[in-house]
């Protein structure tokens, strides 16, 4: 199929509901169909509670979908695919390990020698601007440094497909801008396909090649918007603002309709 783009991720009519403690059913995703092309950044954009995290968790193999299917690099319903690395909404650095050991943790699980791990972790930390911070513990780091370390650990997994769940949501704007650029540079250098979850319109327009707009209760896709802006985007340009406006209207009408 020469015309079809190479798909890293697809969801096909996925439904997922949760039953909470009181026995109430909550439909997190319904009729959820999404695809993300290889080598591109796809943003899942939607208000809180629309099922963004749930979608990523299904991909990662942490939740099972009730119906429909998903695929990772053309493998259907892959369970814990090694092609995939996941950054969850809260930081998951192991608090008792120094940054270098945290970054090298995926290597440790693969039995890489200590010397080699040290060297690799140093190089990865360097890449995300944490040179010289190898010996710090997570609680000694700022929020921004922790997110940087999470990116370094992503590099260490060697996975080509990154799932990122609002990784910069708790950072100040300036730090976020810097980290967004760091992330884009890493993605370009390593030819990564990324599925980036956010509720920030501006963040989505800055990062994404394509934006998938979601609406809650139950979570489903309302629109796919291509972002044709060239890289090294200017947040202050009129094209940027115009696109943000389009997406805002899409989101608003979806919420009104829903």
Partner 1 sequence: MNFSKFLSRAATGTILPLLLLGAWHYAASRPGTLVPTVSDVCRIILQPAAKPESIDTPCLGFSALVSLTRVGLGYLLAVTLAVPLGLLIGRNAAARAAVSPLVTMLRVVCPIAWLPLAILLLGVGNLAETIWGIPAAYRHKLLFEIQPAMVFIICWGAFFPILLATASSAHAVRKSLLENAWLLGAGSWSLFRHVVLPHSLPSIVSGMRIGLGISWMVIVAAELYPGTRSGLGYTIWVSQDTVQYQYTFAAVFYIMAIGLIINGLLWFLEKRLGHWQAEVV
Residues contributing to the site for partner 1 (CB under 8 A): 60-62, 80, 82, 84-86, 88, 90-92, 94-97, 105-106, 108-110, 137-139, 143, 157
Q: Would you say 214 and 44 are in contact if contact means Cβ atoms under 8 Å apart?
A: yes
Cα–Cα distance for residue pair 126/118, rounded to 1 Å:
12
The stretch near Mg ion (CB under 5 A) out of 48-56, 67-75, 79-87, 119-127 is 48-56
Cβ burial of 54 (10 Å; 0-12, 13-18, 19+) is buried
Closer of 148 and 199 to ligand ATP (Cβ)? 199
Residues making contact with ligand ATP (CB under 6 A):
18, 20, 26, 28, 48-54, 89, 199
Least separation in angstroms between CB 16 and partner 1: 17
Three-state SS at 11: strand
Partner interacting with residue 199 (select from ligand ATP, partner 1, Mg ion, none; CB below 5-8 Å by kind): ligand ATP
Question: Per CB under 5 A, which of residues 90..109 are in contact with Mg ion?
Answer: none
Closer of 39 and 47 to ligand ATP (Cβ)? 47
Partner interacting with residue 133 (select from partner 1, ligand ATP, Mg ion, none; CB below 5-8 Å by kind): none
Cα–Cα distance for residue pair 55/15, rounded to 1 Å:
10
Least separation in angstroms between CB 97 and partner 1: 8
Closer of 48 and 232 to ligand ATP (Cβ)? 48
Closer of 53 and 193 to Mg ion (Cβ)? 53
Residues 6+ apart with CB under 8 A from 132: none
Residue of 84, 83, 113, 117 whose CA lies nearest to 99: 117
Based on the shown chain and the rule CB under 5 A, indicate whether residue 53 belongs to the binding site for Mg ion: yes
Residue of 60, 82, 77, 74 whose CA lies nearest to 8: 74
Q: Would you say 30 and 197 are in contact if contact means Cβ atoms under 8 Å apart?
A: no
Which residues make up the interface to Mg ion (CB under 5 A)? 53
């Amino acid at each position: 199929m020469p015309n079809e783009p190479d798909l890293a991720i697809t969801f096909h009519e996925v439904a997922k509901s949760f039953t909470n403690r009181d026995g109430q059913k909550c439909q997190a995703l319904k009729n959820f169909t999404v695809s993300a092309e290889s080598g591109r950044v796809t943003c899942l954009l939607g208000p809180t509670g629309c099922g963004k995290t749930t979608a990523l968790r299904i991909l990662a193999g942490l939740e099972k979908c009730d119906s429909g299917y998903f695929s990772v690099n053309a493998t259907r319903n892959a369970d814990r695919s090694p092609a995939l690395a996941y950054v969850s909404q809260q930081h998951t650095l192991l608090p008792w390990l120094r940054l270098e050991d945290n970054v090298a943790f995926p290597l440790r699980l693969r039995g890489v020698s200590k010397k080699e791990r040290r060297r690799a972790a140093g190089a990865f930390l360097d890449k995300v601007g944490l040179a010289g911070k190898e010996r710090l513990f997570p609680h000694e780091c700022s929020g921004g440094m922790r997110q940087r370390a999470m990116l370094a650990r992503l590099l260490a997994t060697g996975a080509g497909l990154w799932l990122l769940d609002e990784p910069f949501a708790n950072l100040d704007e300036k730090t976020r801008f810097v980290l967004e650029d760091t992330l884009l540079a890493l993605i370009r250098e390593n030819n990564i396909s990324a599925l980036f979850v956010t509720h920030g319109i501006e963040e989505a327009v800055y990062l994404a090649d394509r934006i998938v707009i979601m609406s809650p209760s139950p979570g489903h896709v309302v629109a796919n918007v291509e972002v044709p802006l060239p890289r090294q985007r200017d947040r202050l340009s009129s094209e940027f603002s115009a696109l943000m406006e389009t997406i805002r209207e899409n989101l608003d009408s979806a919420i009104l309709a829903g």
